[in-house]
Amino acid sequence: MQNQTTGTPRRWAKHMAAALSLLLWAGAPAAAQRIVLPTGEYMDTTSLRNPGCGAPFYQYYQVKGKYPVASATLARQAQAFLQQRNGRYTGTGLITFRFGIDCEGKRLPWTKVLQTDAAYRPTHFAPALVEALYAYLQTLTDWRRASGPNREPANYLTLLSFRIQDGKVVAVTP
């Protein structure tokens, strides 16, 4: 008997297509769409692209794409954002969001979420904490426009890692 959770790649793709269609049919949720797969956790999985932006994606460090606010300031802002939400968060480790920025400096919705404990082993924080940090990430709108090697407008992949200690944001990198 075949395991229904893995199945064939074609069956898996059909189930994912059906699930995504159902999510789209139900309308846009107020909170971020969250999908957990064996390959990782994702939020807002739409892969919309700006048609005016070219195809290549660079890494943020190749195009000086770091967010233009100091990491210590981001950490303070993120912690204040969490406190305003009155959540009681726990856990120690890192929550990292990896996503794209298009050639106009706009964040693309596709976001991969990586979570590790203090020893860098995979873990899962409470969904409320991950969703609150993702909501904070969505408030960051001053991403830099980037240029490729020939000064053409460029898209880039970037990340923000939130170091969590006892449920509080103590650092943000890069």
Is residue 173 classed exposed, middle or buried when 0-12, 13-18 and 19+ CB atoms within 10 A define those classes? Answer: middle
Q: State the SS3 of the chain.
A: CCCCCCCCHHHHHHHHHHHHHHHHHCCCCCCCCEEEECCEEEECCCCCCCCCCCCCEEEHHHCCCCCCCCHHHHHHHHHHHHHHCCCCCCCCEEEEEEEEECCCCCEEEEEEEEEEECCCCECCCCHHHHHHHHHHHHHCCCCCCEECCCCCEEEEEEEEEEEEECCEEEEEEC
Sequence-distant (6+) residues with CB within 8 A of 7 are 15
Paired tokens of 20: 């995504």
What are the pLDDT digits (tens) for 55-98?
678 999 999 889 999 999 999 999 999 999 988 999 999 999 99
* Confidence (pLDDT) at 75: 98
* Confidence (pLDDT) at 18: 45
pTM of the entire structure? 0.74
Q: Is the pLDDT of residue 11 over 70?
A: no
Decide the pairing of beta strands 57-59 and 153-165: parallel
